């Protein structure tokens, strides 16, 4: 009997509900000052990087290695408010929401705000004497500052971690009405987790979808199908049997990607754009980060990045990079 193919861990294999993939849990950060625990971006493309291996325990420690890496453009986010949560019987419950949005803000393409929203003082009065369990900022992306031809921003909540709760509240209040860049959330060398919606492939058969073995050439009704739908009892087809269906466009999370490089083109930092731009994306226009390994989704796909929830290394320094395939040798 052929070996089982296709993980049963990812069920149901259906289309993602939204292209804006977010996390459902976030780690607690052991830092003294409050900070955001995640940041959004857009996938640009892939390059390969020649760098010095500095991860403890690796066989190639101290030698030059080549890593396939992904460029993610991370334009600044706009902070328009925050939301306080209290602990309820079934989890977190919203306590109050403070918003300050003007009519001309780009978020009007996503939210219906009319002439604008400003309930800041009213929301702050509800926090007096309340027992707050979590603070999350309300922010939206600025795709118009990136290299993609997109105007409609994504609206999201990002938790604030680190420090005491009073410090988190003051930190969230101080951010409202300002822009925040990725270098205030992450640093070069650290590990991060990434979630996104994978590239869609539509309706596919069982061989493409689960990688099962082709039947012999004299099989009765075709080779590109499952050999058996199961036993006589139970008298139905169980969910464990490979079946044709939706392939791709699923929300997936990948853990412990290392930040190899960060840059800000508005400050004249190193531009990773090749001549003619990245395929299906274009050129970089704002801030970017370079992650080790691959990231789900095609170019221009929304990507959400957070601090690692189960890091494989405690602390890693900034790597020593010699060469990036899109621009050539560094420091020569």
pLDDT digits (tens, 9 = 90+) for 16-55: 999 999 999 999 998 999 999 999 999 999 999 999 999 9
* Tally of helices (H runs) and strands (E runs) in the chain: 3, 17
Residue 76 tokens, joined: 């600044």
pLDDT at 328 (0 to 100):
86
Element (H, E) at 206: helix 206-210
**What letters, b where the CB count within 10 A reaches 16 and e where it falls short, cover 125-161?**
eebeeeebebbbbbbbbbbbbbbbeeeebbbbbbbbb
pLDDT band per the 50, 70, 90 thresholds, residue 2? low
Chosen domain end from 218, 247, 276:
247
* 42 and 65 part of one domain: yes
Residues 317, 258 within the same domain: yes
Are 325 and 208 in a shared domain?
no
Give me the sign of the Cα torsion angle 102, 160, 305, 208.
negative
Residues 243 and 293 in one domain: no
Are 210 and 274 within one domain? no
Q: 126 in a domain, yes or no?
A: no
* Phi/psi at 214 (5° precision): -65, 145
Domain encompassing residue 222: 202-228+235-247
Between 185 and 123, the more confident residue is 185
pLDDT over 90 (residue 160) = yes
Answer yes or no: do 263 and 322 share one domain: yes
pTM flag (> 0.85): yes
- 208 in the same domain as 69: no
Q: Looking at residue 37, which CATH number applies to its domain?
A: 2.40.30.10
pLDDT, residue 209, reads 92
Q: Are residues 206 and 332 located together in one domain of the fold?
A: no
Residue 5, pLDDT above cutoff 90: no
Query: Is position 258 within any domain?
Result: yes
User: Do 294 and 212 share a structural domain?
Assistant: no
3-class SS of residue 55: coil
Number of domains in the chain: 2
Answer whether 287's CB lies under 8 Å from 264's CB.
yes
Report residue 329 CA to chain centroid gap. 29
């Amino acid at each position: 009997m052929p070996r089982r193919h296709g993980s049963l861990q990812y069920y149901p294999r259906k289309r993602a509900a939204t292209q804006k993939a977010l996390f459902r849990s976030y780690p607690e950060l052991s830092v003294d000052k409050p900070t955001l625990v995640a940041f959004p971006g857009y996938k640009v493309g892939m390059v390969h990087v020649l760098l010095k291996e500095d991860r403890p325990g690796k066989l190639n420690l101290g030698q030059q290695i080549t890593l396939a890496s992904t460029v993610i453009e991370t334009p600044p986010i706009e902070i328009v408010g925050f939301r306080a949560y209290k602990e309820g019987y079934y989890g977190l419950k919203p306590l109050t929401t403070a918003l300050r949005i003007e009519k001309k803000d780009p978020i009007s393409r996503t939210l219906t705000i009319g002439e604008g929203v400003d309930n800041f003082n009213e929301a702050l009065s509800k926090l007096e004497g309340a027992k707050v369990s979590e603070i999350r900022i309300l922010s939206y992306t600025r795709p118009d500052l990136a290299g993609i031809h997109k105007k409609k921003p994504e609206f999201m909540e990002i938790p604030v971690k680190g420090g005491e709760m009073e410090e988190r509240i003051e930190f969230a209040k101080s951010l409202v009405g300002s822009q925040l860049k990725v270098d205030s959330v992450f640093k070069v060398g650290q590990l991060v987790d990434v979630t996104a919606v994978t590239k869609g492939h539509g309706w596919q058969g069982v061989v493409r979808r689960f990688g099962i073995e082709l039947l012999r050439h004299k099989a009765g009704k075709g080779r590109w199908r499952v050999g058996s739908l199961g036993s006589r009892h139970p008298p139905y087809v169980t969910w464990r049997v490979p079946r044709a269906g939706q392939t791709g466009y699923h929300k997936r999370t990948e853990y412990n990607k290392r930040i190899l490089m960060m840059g800000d083109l508005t400050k004249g930092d190193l531009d990773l754009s090749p001549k003619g731009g990245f395929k299906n994306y274009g050129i970089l226009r704002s801030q970017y980060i370079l992650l080790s390994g691959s990231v789900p989704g095609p170019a221009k796909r929304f990507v959400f990045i957070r601090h690692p929830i189960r890091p494989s290394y405690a602390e890693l320094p900034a790597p020593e990079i010699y060469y990036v395939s899109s621009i050539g040798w560094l420091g020569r």
